[in-house]
Amino acid sequence: MVSDRYEADVVLTCDDRGAIHAPGVVEVLDGRITHVGAEGSEDFAGTVHRLGGLIMPGLVNAHAHTPMTLVRGAGDGLPLQRWLNEAMWPREGRMTPEDVWWGMALGSAEMLVSGVTTSCEMYLFEDAVVDAVSTTGGRLVMTPAALSVLHGESFGAGGDRLDALAAFHGMYHDPAGRLTVGIGPHSAYDLGVAGVARMAELARSLDAVLHVHVAETRAESEPLEAEYGCSIVQVLSDHDVLGGRVLFAHAVWVDDDDIAMMAAAGVAVAHCPVSNMKLGSGVAPLVRMIDAGVTVALGTDGPASNDTLDLWEEVKVAPLLARVDALDATLLSAERV
């Protein structure tokens, strides 16, 4: 057994009580934290590391396409649909597993440098993503993507991809370790509602996270909303997509009824304010979602629609954007963020 004690000027626990130990210690046994407090345990017998500075839990990037480090800057200045169709998908369609490995390894290293130890990834060549993160030492929630626009309907909504995702989950899912596997249908506007519903059914059968783009822009959902006569959130709810462990990426264009449905179903949201600003997508109703009981996390989105993977930037921008949108400087204290 390997025992280590890390002593710091400040230990920020980020627990429910907001406990801060100054100074503080963290004790680790065989890679797992066994004690956090103002003083060390009396029976500790191991190596003491006097670090000084700050110790806190690693940040979690709740929505990312990290291998897009390789296409960072492409399509700058384009709105979402043109950015995807003209700049991103043609380039990503030419990527190889080796490309994705290097893009993920680079991005994982960037995140680790800024204190982001876990990312929730939606991408292709999922085996390469897993291998890259196992090399860098980060933690990963891998939600392999399904995109009909790149691979045809059989890839996005057909049995072959479903079988492959189930097999991938069985091979890699290890919640006690550093890798959790979910399911990542890109969106209803890409796969169709039926395609996303099939992916949601698979996710529920595996008790896995369903990670899907929803209402990122106002225009993307308009055809489906016109077809079904209701909001995209209502459409997804009517097709049993909201059941289970669901993570909506963005949720910018949702109203109070949508938010109530999301809260009732336990849907979480990955809020990506910098990407939403860069692509001119809109301002998510962050405060209304939080006040309604929706769990909201922060994400960078891909580095091509953000330029960085620095989650601290999102921590700063999210409350500032909410305040300027509401013309209310009192919203979202640092502690709440």
The enclosing domain of 31 has a CATH number of 2.30.40.10
What's the Cα-to-Cα distance from 149 to each of 23, 154, 155, rounded to whole Å? 53, 11, 9
How many domains does the structure of the chain reveal? 2
Q: Is 337 contained in some domain?
A: no
Give the model's pLDDT for residue 147: 84
Specify whether 97 is located in the same domain as 32. Answer: no
Q: Which one-letter DSSP state was computed for residue 58? A: P
Do 63 and 172 have their domain in common? yes
Residues 156 and 298 placed together within one structural domain of the fold? yes
Pair type for strands 20-21 and 10-12:
antiparallel
pLDDT at 42: 77
* pLDDT above 50 for 31: yes
| DSSP string of 295-307, one letter each residue | -EEE----GGGTS
User: Does 46 share its domain with 109?
Assistant: no
pTM for the full predicted model: 0.93
Which amino acid, residue 219? A
Amino acid at 335: E
Contact indicator for 168, 160 with CB cutoff of 8 Å: no
**Residue 93 pLDDT:** 86
Q: Which domain holds residue 36?
A: 3-55
**CA 7 to CA 19: how far, in whole Å?**
16
For 50-85, the pLDDT digits (tens) are 999 999 999 999 999 999 999 999 999 999 999 989
Separation of alpha carbons 328 and 67, rounded Å: 37
Residues 241 and 310 occupy one common structural domain:
yes
Residue 210 sits in a domain whose CATH number is 3.20.20.140
Residues 200 and 302 in one domain: yes
d(CA 46, CA 29): 9
pLDDT digits over 175-224, tens only? 989 999 999 999 999 999 999 999 999 999 999 999 999 999 999 999 99
Residue whose tokens read 């980060």: 138
- Which of 15, 31, 55 finishes a domain? 55
Whether residue 212 is found in the same domain as residue 143? yes
Same structural domain for residues 80 and 151?
yes
